[in-house]
Amino acid sequence: MKALSTLIVFSAAAGMVAAVYGADDLQNASRDDAQWLMPAKNYAGTRFSGLKQIDTGNVGELQVAWEFSTGVLRGHESAPLVVGDTMYVITPYPNFLYALDLKEAGALKWVYKPDPTRAAQGVACCDVVNRGAAYADGKIFLNTLDNYTVAVDAKSGKEVWRTKLGDISKGETMTMAPLVVKDKVLVGNSGGEMGVRGWLTALDAGSGKIAWRAYSTGPDKDVLIGDDFRSPYAKGSDLGVHTWQADQWRTGGGTVWGWLSYDPDADLVYYGTSNPGPWNAAQRPGDNAWTTALFARKPETGMAKWAYQLNPHDLYDYDGVNENVLLDLTIDGKQRKVLAHADRNGFMYIVDRLTGELVSAQPYASVNSISRIDTTTGRPVMVDAKKSEEGKMVRDICPAASGGKDWQPMAYSPQTGLLYVPHNNVCMDMEGMRVGYIAGTPFVGAKVAMKAGPGGYRGAFTAWDPVTAKKVWSIEERFPVWSGALVTAGGVAFYGTLDRWFKAVDAKTGKELWKFRTGAGVIGQPIAFQGPDGKQYVAVLAGPGGWAGAVVAGNLDTKVPYGALGFVNAMKDLGDYTSQGGTLYVFALPTTTTNQAGREPVHQSAR
């Protein structure tokens, strides 16, 4: 932690130069609300901006300051980054990285093109998305769909190093956003639908050399489980082998395609692992450790401190990869260091992040597949009538495979004490089918048709109190809310919808304060920053796709219910609301109504 206060003062000043932070300074640097250095804003993953120029009183006047077309048509899930006076935007495949000049209303500084192999598109389960890049130490780190982690010089756009981490012919891709901790870049693989063996890998930020790799399945030596490991709900060694039949763990999933967070005090990195493969659970008797599990690891060595398998012997593709938001809360009169995790299974888990013990788990979405989470065993209590089976179509399972919530990350405001959860209200019919493993092809074995959940709407934006474990308010949406959430000190929460709205709501009440009609559906992660002109901006990428939007992104056939692993059946009408297309929108208040009087309107300074 060196001389950070100086750097922050510099960067908050107008006309700043791009600051160079050492990777170990990120914790402090991320407190600077002028910038947005990692997709989740900070290590705790709160997506909270302390900026308050835009507030509940004036957000209704928000207007477009400038736009940027990405030239890519697939699903845009990423968060822009802001470092000094430059914004960085990464696109879905072919993973262009654009640098835009904030002093010149988004003038293009450079574009870096990593040229991923075209064939990678055929291996990505759920659109060819990318969830963001990360900044540290003068470099932008990104993952390509064809399994390279790349470091790019933030100033020049020149490639510094690239390291190959996986193999598309084994079904591997990379779609997640890296997290930089100290001198390491942490990345994970995708391919839980392809019989991929999941891992988290640490690379040296300076050289790109692989420091360690922690598999999610297999013997303890591969999972990096040693003497310091404690699992509150599972006993025994080599569970990553013994909870499978024969060597099924080798093709058993547990990929790491979601979010990482980090607690510098505990020095632990947190993340979750994906579903087991194949979806057809009849083919893989046992608990299938450590799929659908939360892990806490030491960043230096990768050694696991604890793990908690959320959905042992998963029946429904309930991945455990959703974000873990790190919060210090007073629960039942006790100070607790917890993580909040809205699982695919529809329950909001509050977990002691030092021990991995469950504090509470209550449903935040419509659930009929699980009656409750047993606080003694940590396990879901399954509802027999809804258990998926081979050769039998089980009707109306809630939530669907896409979960109460999928990847779309929630935000937390320390002002309101609430989590802002973008999520789904989707159920499914599911039939397990025998499937053989053929490397590089899907290993799913299920026929799925999804549909709207109870109430007929398909998505919601919900404010949740993590202390009382209760819903505070909820806004129903036509389609799954597949965008990330942002909340600011101005008391405003932001999210986007697949039917082409970007919305601002009152963080206390959920009252809609403003909405903007985007060119295409929004599934990106909104951010806030302060420009070189001292004004607050809010930015988001539009461009529908991802699993929910695959019907539009991939031009799928709406006459067949089973497309996109069954999501098409629930999204047949998406094409009536949006077409394809990636555009970045940057919003600001009009000059005349803020304390910026006398300044040139930003949109007129474009060259």
Cα–Cα dist 461/497, whole Å: 10
**Which helix (H) or strand (E) is 223 found in, with range?**
helix 220-223
Structure tokens at 199: 């891992």
Contact residue for another protein among 72, 82, 89, 124 (CB under 8 A): 124
For residue 281, CA distances in Å to 117, 244, 312, 322, 598 come to 33, 11, 11, 21, 65
**In whole angstroms, how close is the CB of 56 to another protein at the nearest point?**
42
Residues near 528 by beta carbon (within 8 Å), at least 6 away in sequence: 33, 36, 49, 51, 54, 486, 488, 536, 537, 538, 539
E strands present in 507-561: 512-517, 527-530, 536-542
**In whole angstroms, how close is the CB of 3 to another protein at the nearest point?**
49
Nearer to another protein, 48 or 93 (CB): 93
Q: Using the rule CB under 8 A, give the single segment among 119-127, 262-270, 505-513, 535-543 that binds another protein.
A: 119-127
Q: What is the DSSP letter of 565?
A: G
**Which helix (H) or strand (E) is 297 found in, with range?**
strand 293-297
Residue type, 599: R
Examine residue 174 and tell whether it contacts another protein (CB under 8 A): no
Give the closest residue to 299 by CA, choosing from 212, 229, 205.
212
**In whole angstroms, how close is the CB of 561 to another protein at the nearest point?**
7
Give the closest residue to 445 by CA, choosing from 430, 460, 464, 424.
430
Contact residue for another protein among 111, 433, 467, 472 (CB under 8 A): 433
Examine residue 572 and tell whether it contacts another protein (CB under 8 A): no
**In whole angstroms, how close is the CB of 469 to another protein at the nearest point?**
36
Phi/psi for 496 (5° steps) reads: -120, 165
Nearer to another protein, 63 or 555 (CB): 555
Contact 466, 327 (CB under 8 A): yes
Cα–Cα dist 479/471, whole Å: 20
The pairing of beta strand 527-530 with beta strand 459-465: unpaired
Cα–Cα dist 544/547, whole Å: 10
For residue 315, CA distances in Å to 282, 319, 435 come to 9, 10, 15
Examine residue 447 and tell whether it contacts another protein (CB under 8 A): yes
Examine residue 550 and tell whether it contacts another protein (CB under 8 A): yes
Contact residue for another protein among 90, 120, 241, 338 (CB under 8 A): 120
Examine residue 435 and tell whether it contacts another protein (CB under 8 A): yes
Contact residue for another protein among 17, 119, 385, 606 (CB under 8 A): 119
Contact residue for another protein among 50, 266, 355, 437 (CB under 8 A): 437
Site string for another protein, 233-272 (x = CB under 8 A): ------------xxxx-xx---------------------
Examine residue 575 and tell whether it contacts another protein (CB under 8 A): no
Contact residue for another protein among 562, 590, 591, 599 (CB under 8 A): 562
Coil vs helix vs strand at 222: helix
Cα–Cα dist 213/188, whole Å: 9
Examine residue 565 and tell whether it contacts another protein (CB under 8 A): yes
**In whole angstroms, how close is the CB of 195 to another protein at the nearest point?**
9
The pairing of beta strand 48-49 with beta strand 486-488: parallel
Give the closest residue to 532 by CA, choosing from 12, 3, 66, 60.
12
Coil vs helix vs strand at 44: coil
Examine residue 229 and tell whether it contacts another protein (CB under 8 A): no
**In whole angstroms, how close is the CB of 571 to another protein at the nearest point?**
12
Q: Using the rule CB under 8 A, give the single segment among 381-389, 470-478, 508-516, 556-564 that binds another protein.
A: 556-564
Examine residue 393 and tell whether it contacts another protein (CB under 8 A): no
Examine residue 167 and tell whether it contacts another protein (CB under 8 A): no
**In whole angstroms, how close is the CB of 403 to another protein at the nearest point?**
18
Cα–Cα dist 319/306, whole Å: 18
Cα–Cα dist 318/402, whole Å: 7
Nearer to another protein, 334 or 559 (CB): 559
Examine residue 219 and tell whether it contacts another protein (CB under 8 A): no
Phi/psi for 240 (5° steps) reads: -65, -10
Nearer to another protein, 113 or 372 (CB): 113
Structure tokens at 268: 């632990």
Examine residue 123 and tell whether it contacts another protein (CB under 8 A): yes
What sign has the CA pseudo-torsion 497, 503, 504, 510? negative
Q: Using the rule CB under 8 A, give the single segment among 22-30, 67-75, 150-158, 547-555 that binds another protein.
A: 547-555
Q: Using the rule CB under 8 A, give the single segment among 27-35, 324-332, 344-352, 427-435 that binds another protein.
A: 427-435
Contact residue for another protein among 440, 484, 545, 546 (CB under 8 A): 440
The pairing of beta strand 501-506 with beta strand 134-136: unpaired
Give the closest residue to 316 by CA, choosing from 341, 291, 342, 348.
291
Total residues contacting another protein by CB under 8 A comes to: 43
Examine residue 366 and tell whether it contacts another protein (CB under 8 A): no
Q: Using the rule CB under 8 A, give the single segment among 58-66, 398-406, 439-447, 462-470 that binds another protein.
A: 439-447
**In whole angstroms, how close is the CB of 433 to another protein at the nearest point?**
7
Residue 543: Cβ within 10 Å count: 32
Site string for another protein, 179-218 (x = CB under 8 A): --------------x-------------------------
Give the closest residue to 316 by CA, choosing from 459, 431, 482, 176.
431
Please identify every residue annotated as catalytic. Answer: 193, 275, 317
**In whole angstroms, how close is the CB of 572 to another protein at the nearest point?**
11
Examine residue 442 and tell whether it contacts another protein (CB under 8 A): yes
Examine residue 408 and tell whether it contacts another protein (CB under 8 A): no
Q: Using the rule CB under 8 A, give the single segment among 116-124, 360-368, 497-505, 526-534 that binds another protein.
A: 116-124
- Contact set with another protein (CB under 8 A): 118-126, 193, 245-248, 250-251, 283, 433-444, 447, 550, 554-557, 559-565, 568
